[in-house]
Each structure stands twice: as C-alpha cells, then as structure tokens.
Structure 1
C-alpha cells in the first residue's frame, strides 16, 4: 500500500524522451568528470575512450545489451591504459537496464552476485588490503568496479522482480474484480428472471384454467404475460449492456445504443413491482418512508430485496395480501415484507432456490442484519436492516 505521506520524486511518470534527456545529462556529466580527472586529458585516445564510455549511455534504454558491451570494453581499455580512474561507473550505469529487461535464467547467480557485492562493500569500508601504492590502487579500482557492477545488477534484478510481483498482484486483483462482477450480474439476472417467470407462470396457469369458460379473462392474462416479458427483456438488455468492454466492440456496432441504458432500478421502481404482483393475484400495500435520497447501490439492494420477497409471495402464497415497508429511521434502512398467506413455504421440487440466499448476501455485503421466517399468527415476514450512515457519508 502506498504511503500518502511519501511524495514521489517526480509528480508524474517521465516520458521516454524525458528519460533519454536524463541519460544524456548523466553521460555528459560523467564525461566532464572523466576529462577533468584524467591524467592524460590532452590525448586523442583519451578523448575517444571517454566518448565511447559516455555517449552510448543516451540510448541505454533502447539497446541495453549492445550499449553495455561497448561501454564495458571502453571502460576496461581506459582502466588498462590509465586514461581514467574508476571508469566502471559508466559500465554499471549501462548494466542496470540490462538487468531490468533481460529474462531471468535458472542458472543465473543473482544471489551470489549480491553476496559478493556486499563483500566488496565491506572490503572497501574496512580500508582494502595492505600492499604497495600501485597494487593497492589497482585492487581498489577492481573492488569499487565490482561493487558498482554487482550493485547495479542486483538492484536491477530486484526492481524487475518487484515489477513482476506488482503485475501479478494487479492481474489477480483484476481477476477477483471480474469474478465479483460475474457474481453480481448472476444475482441480478436471478432476481429479474425469477420475478418475471413467477408472474408469467401464475398468469399462464390462470389463462389455461379459464380459457374455455372465460376467454376474455384468459386474454387479459396473456396481455399481462406479454407486458411482463417485455419489461424483463428490457431490464436484462440494460443489465447485459454493462458487460460490453467498449461501445460496439467486436460487433460492428457504433455504440449509438449506449445512451439507452437506463440507471439501475431503485425506490422509484417499487410501484412497478406492486403492479406486476397485483396482476398475479397479490395485493401489495407499499409504504415508503425514506426522507432523504439513498445511494444508488443501496437503492438497488433495497429494490432487489423487495422484488425477491414479493416474488416469493406470488410463487408460494398467491392469492394473498402483502405489505412492504421501507424506512430510513435510526441510521439504517429497514425493509420489511409481510404477507397473510400460509406461513410455511412449500418449495417446488428440484435444487434449492437462491432467493433467500441472494437477499442474505446483499444484506451481509452492507454489514446489515437479515431474517426471514413464518409469523406466529400466520403469514411470512422478510426483514432486512442495512446501515445507512456510512453509505451517505
């Protein structure tokens, strides 16, 4: 997790041209240091070696390995000819992008390189070895060069591993988000399909029962089935629209229909649930006492809880009377759905339904409390309490 108190060195990631400009400045700065400290600064060979060690650094990010090889050869030649002191710093600067971009191999001794680098650092701190001045200078040059090269390689590999780890974490987070979105859409699809098919099933049964004796009532039931199915198809089309990665992606569509996607249903859509339930023989008394507006996600949760509860009444207790109460008193949203049908719910044969489970999951996602069960005097009650203060803040 990023620390909000730590400010990055740059306010934004640097562009490629800006990175090249920094490499150019670093190469020119190091060339100036080499020329000033060179014991043979007036020699043409010295100028050529200094140029070979520093100018290629400008393109080290584009051609890491060739640049490193050229700079390393020039650095060794400069060190052998005594043209420059500590010339391996340029090679270390060129080695970092090689370590950062090259694929790691199984036999690569990165840990050993890191250990040797630490040993070289300790040797440099402790003062090197006792020897003649010329030999001591050579040993110090080798030690400091090894320290620079080993440090550049180890840091480059560590940064590469960190970036790979961050990429894996980001990929896992994306997969988790996709899974959560699939579960959410599956829950929404279940609510829509279950509610709609329950109403259609009830009205189809009515139409089949009265088709011979009262054809006008059967025709009215078919009209209700048509209206309900159209509404369900529209809602499912809106819901599936969010699965598109981009307008018209892969379909040749220009995206002209994206503006037709309606917002998620909320409290304003509760009368539609009551109207459809009435068409299936369940009279719904809707009582909404929400004084202030709710967040859209919370409104959707309330809408789905009411929809699933009323659907269960239509499926298991019709004809019946149902009362729906939604209020936001006491820092929470209270959703209560009661009916006067048989308290015991007789589920159809087959796998258990997911209606109550889905409602319980919705309430649990908000840290609320959910109960559902028969009433002592008959009927059934669904009660959900969802915290409100955190959602509004």
Structure 2
C-alpha cells in the first residue's frame, strides 16, 4: 500500500516533467552551440515531443518508454535536430526511464538495456561528428568550444550510468528490506510456535496422564479420580491463561501491554514442579541464586525446565526427577535428571525431537551449550549452560 501511495504522489511529477523536458529539448534544438539541422522548425518540435512526452507514463511502462525515448534520442542525434554540444539533453528522458528499468526489471534485462543505450548513443554521437562534421554556427559567442565526440558521448554515458546505478541501488535496498522483513516474520513464527509448543505440550501431557488415571480408577477410587480431574481443570485453566497472555502480546501495538502478567521465570519453577508431582513424577527442585536474571533469560530457563519435565512425564514415568538451576559467574546452569525407563526404541520420536530442538534453539540464542541423552546408569539427562550479561543483552 505504501508503494502504491508513493507512485500516486510521484505520477504528477512525471506529468509536469514531460512538458518541461519538451521545452528543454526544443530550446537545445533551436539554439544549440553548434547548428547542424537546417530543416523546418516543426521537425525539431516534433522530435522534442516524441522524445520527452512519454516520460509522463514511464512509471507504468518503463521499458517501452525507454525504447521510445532512446530511439527518439538516437534519431534526433543522427538527423542533427539537437545540435552538437547539447546532444546530452535529448538523452535525459531515456535516462529517467532507464532508472525505473533498473529499479523494476530483472537485473539481466536492466543490464542489457543499459548496454544497448550506451552502444546506440555512442554510435550516434560518433556518426554525427565524423559524418556530418558540425562547425560552430555564425555569430557564436566567443570562447565557445566544440567538444570532441568522445567528450559528448562520455557526458551521455555518465548520465545513463548514473541513472541506472541509482535505480539498481534502490532495487538492492528494497530487496534487502524485503528479505529482512520475511526473516523477521519467519523468526516471529518460530517464536510463536516454540511458545505454543512449550505451553500446550506441557499442559496436554499432564492432562493426558491425569485423564488416563481418572479413567482407570473412576469406579474403584472415586476420590482419587476427582483429584485427578481437579488437576486437569487447574492445568487447562493455567494453559488458557498463558495462551491468552501470548495472544495479547501479539495483538498489542507495543508488544508488551502493561495489563498483562509478566512471562514466567525461575520464580514459577516451584509451581511447575508441583504440577509435575501431581502427574505422578516426584521432583526434587533446587534453585541457587536466580534473582538477578534478565526477563528473557528467565523465560528461557523456565521453558527449558518445563520441556524437560514434560519429556519425563511422557517418556520416563514412573520415575524420580531432580532439577538444578544454578546462577553464577554470568551464566545459568540447568540440569534435569531422571532415573526412569527412558525412551523405548519403538516409541515415535517426532514430538520429543521437536522439544529437544526447541530447547537447543533457546540455548543457542544465548551462545550457550546444550546436551541431552541417556545416562549410563539409566534414565535421561538434560543439561544446558546459558551465558548472559546483567544488563539483559546476550553476549
């Protein structure tokens, strides 16, 4: 939409520039430093109109306008309707069209157009000076010097190359901006997918475990089944709250509205451990000095522990789990160890692998190290090391 508005604002400039260029080319044809053309004046005016008027529609049809203005300028040079010493004026409309060709056309096509313009204009100027041999007009101002054809061709080439380079540079800047915009969208999608996976994956694992328990013991142990249903209710409500918080951030213009709760961090790990215990996995949680963690690092710590505990519930239960979160020396060390059965070879690895990839990405974002795998004595270990700066900037 912004690009369309920009073209709408620039179109009147082209409409004004076209007749101005007609007058400029006509003046150069009627009063040049070196008079070459001696035909009727209407021919010079017609030539000026044919060369300059298409500029008014160059934004709609840049390549056809370049062809018309370029051919018109070459014909005017060969006929001498624009006298020697001012030939470059006839090529200004073509340069304006060439700028848009370099901006909008594929690079190979725009380079071809540039080379064609340079060769055609150079040949036309060389023909004018070598065949028609212009001489200063009678009564010329003293001191007027007739430039050699390489000089005049060089001026035209400089105009053409400058216009093409400006268009190509703007094209590259726009391509870079578009690429960065696409990358930002992809990064945001990855961030959303990671957050949703962490929120929904953990909650659904607990709900699935408790629903299975309630289904099996509903007839024989109604009290424990009711307790399992209470855990399901609490877990689902907490997940909905987290999802609403995430969606609220995405919908906010500022990205972090003041009325939303802060993202979870190490302070919420005790609640996370309680939920895991409610799913039937005993958890020993030890936290050492995480009070000064930046918010983003704290969120990553929480999500890593959350995903590790989710995998324990899904793949290692029944098991006992130990969680250590230790901060010191500008880094956070996370270790989640269980003594369960681990992943059985026949189990699918898709969701588990996705969770491990998410944890690794969070650690890599801070330049840390991550490892996950079975222990020789049995069970599974997840270990992460996240360096950080007290200011909140990643190293």
Q: TM-score, normalised by structure 1?
A: 0.66
Question: Offset at 1:70?
Answer: 9.0
Question: Relative to 1, partners in 2 of residues 1:155 and 1:70: Cα closer, same or farther, differing over 3 Å?
Answer: closer
2:223 maps to 216
How much does 1:358 deviate?
2.6
Does residue 346 (structure 1) correspond to residue 333 (structure 2)? The answer is: no
Q: Distance in 2 between matches of 1:387 and 1:107?
A: 49
Contact 1:78–1:87 (CA under 8 A) maintained in structure 2: no
Change (3 A) 1:388 1:118: farther
| Of 213, 224, 227, the match for 1:206 | 213
Q: CA deviation at 1:348?
A: 8.4
Q: Which residue of 1 aligns with 2:386?
A: 386
Partner of 1:229: 236
Separation of aligned partners in 2, 1:110 and 1:72: 12
Post-superposition Cα deviations, 1:53-101, rounded to whole Å, max 9, x if no partner, equal 79x9899577688899799979988998999662223223332221122
Question: SS of the counterpart of 1:292?
Answer: coil
SS at match of 1:381: strand
The one-character-per-residue Cα deviations of 1:209-265 (angstroms, maximum 9, x if unpaired) are 332233222112111101111221232343355666x87xxxxxxx9x977655443
Secondary structure of 1:371 counterpart: strand
Indicate the residue corresponding to 1:270 in structure 2.
269
Alignment-derived partner of residue 113 in structure 1: 116
Question: Using the alignment, how far apart are the partners of 2:279 and 2:119 within structure 1?
Answer: 81
| Aligned pairs (5 A) from 1:110-189 | 110=113, 112-113=115-116, 116=119, 134=134, 140=147, 144-189=151-196
**1:191–1:304 Cα contact (<8 Å) kept:** yes
Alignment of 1:235-384 (within 5 A): 235-240=242-247, 262-281=261-280, 282-296=282-296, 298-318=297-317, 320-339=319-338, 341-342=339-340, 344-347=341-344, 349-352=346-349, 353-354=352-353, 355-375=355-375, 379-384=379-384
State the Cα distance separating 1:270 from its structure 2 match: 2.0
For 2:323, what is the secondary structure of its paired residue? strand
Indicate if the aligned counterparts of 2:322 and 2:337 stay in contact, CA closer than 8 A. yes
Classify 1:85/1:185 alpha carbon distance in 2 versus 1 (closer, same or farther; 3 Å).
Answer: same
- 1:115 and 1:80 map into 2 onto residues whose CA distance is 18
Q: How does the TM-score come out when normalised to structure 2?
A: 0.66
Q: Does 1:89 align with 2:96?
A: no
Distance 1:186 1:53, change over 3 A: same
Output one character per residue of 1:180-230: Cα deviation in whole Å (capped at 9) or x when no partner. Answer: 333333332222222112211221233223322332221121111011112
The answer to whether the aligner puts 1:191 opposite 2:188 as a matched pair is: no
* Mean Cα deviation higher: 204-213 or 133-142: 133-142
Matched, 1:101 2:106: no
Q: Is the 8 A contact 1:283 1:320 kept in 2?
A: no
| Cα distance, 1:90–1:261 mapped onto 2, change above 3 Å | farther
Worse overlay, 326-335 or 375-384: 375-384
Deviation at 1:289, TM superposition (A): 1.3
C-alpha contact (below 8 Å) 2:77/2:87 kept by paired residues: no
The answer as to whether partners of 1:60 and 1:94 remain within 8 angstroms in 2 is yes
1:60 and 1:133, CA in 2 relative to 1: closer, same or farther beyond 3 A?
Answer: closer
Superposed, which structure 2 residues align to 1:39-78 within 5 Å?
none
Structure 1 residues not aligned, in runs of 5+ = 1-14, 248-254
Aligned length: 358
Contact 2:374 2:381 in 1 (8 A): yes
CA deviation vs aligned residue, 1:301-338 (integer Å, no higher than 9, x gap): 21111101122233344455433222221232111223
Does structure 2 retain, via aligned residues, the 8 Å contact 1:363–1:370? yes
User: Aligned partners of 2:73 and 2:97: how far apart in 1?
Assistant: 17
d(CA) in 2 for partners of 1:153, 1:173: 30
C-alpha distance in 1 between matches for 2:70 and 2:377: 90
Query: Displacement of 1:363 after TM fit?
Result: 1.9
My pick for the range that moved more, 97-106 or 70-79, is 70-79
Distance 1:142 1:73, change over 3 A: farther
